[in-house]
A and B are shown apart, each in its own frame.
Chain A
């Protein structure tokens, strides 16, 4: 067993109203960042886990996303490659 570190990005499902992203976008416009088109606010989760190899660790985190970390109705997730921790 080795220790791996995997980062997960969870974002609001595209097409669903994201009021938090819109509020941040509006604030950026107020600050003068007029070129900003869209902002989406999500979660960034770092998981450190024991695993036999990177692939197995990534598979486990994918399962975690499906069961708990992301809501399948409202959110999308992306998993970064596992790196030795």
Chain B
């Protein structure tokens, strides 16, 4: 399986994603330049973390108009997997691939920390090797990660089991204390209504080795392989 990792000016987690796919997962990966119009036969697209276009105007607001986003929108529409991590989540929301938006953290500080998230739905393309309500340790690193959407959209996401990850404490409680950015309903990750586009603020690609404090992200990538192989 081939992963296409998009590099925007200011992306900085593209190498981490490449490492996770090629070294940990053992699959093929290629960098896709944001000005290109060719996904180079990629099966899975990763919009990586970083600060595309310096976060000018709003995080992700300008990256969404990069030429390659047209092909990525078509890829998503066809039902193929698209993963937006951190800045990639912000870009996916700005592009309308996912509902809602990411706003300035409620405490106004950049947060760089190892956090816990609870798997809310283990039936998805991205989580089928996790247990429901399993607690994962993954890092976050963002200044604008507070997920917001209208109450109606939030209700729809919950009713459709499209909230995939929530910030939780070690016991799995969904509490304000465990919420690193003030996200509505502790939401850390969601999928679109087709279930093929995922956005999340935490970084599974940076939780793929005991060396960096957690391997909980490995099964995120393995889940995609497992589902496609099945």
Contacts and interface: CB of A to CB of B under 8 A. Distances in A.
A23 B103 CA distance: 15
Nearest to B108: A19
Contacts of B108: 19-20, 23
Please report whether the interface of chain A is mostly helix, strand, loop or mixed according to DSSP.
mixed
Interface residues of A, number: 11
Interface string B104-117: 11111000000000
Interface residues of B, number: 21
A81 interface: no
B149 A17 contact: no
A20 B104 contact: yes
A7 to B, nearest CB: 16
Interface in A4-27: 16-17, 19-20, 23
A71 B94 CA distance: 8
Interface of A: 16-17, 19-20, 23, 43, 68-69, 71, 73-74
Given A17-B182, A68-B61, A68-B65, A74 B107 contact: no
Contacts of A68: 57, 61-62, 65
B104 A73 contact: no
B107 A73 contact: no
Most chain-A CB neighbours within 10 Å: which of B62, B104, B107?
B104
Most chain-B CB neighbours within 10 Å: which of A17, A19, A69, A73?
A73
B61 A19 contact: no
Nearest to B150: A73
A68 B94 CA distance: 9
A73 B148 contact: yes
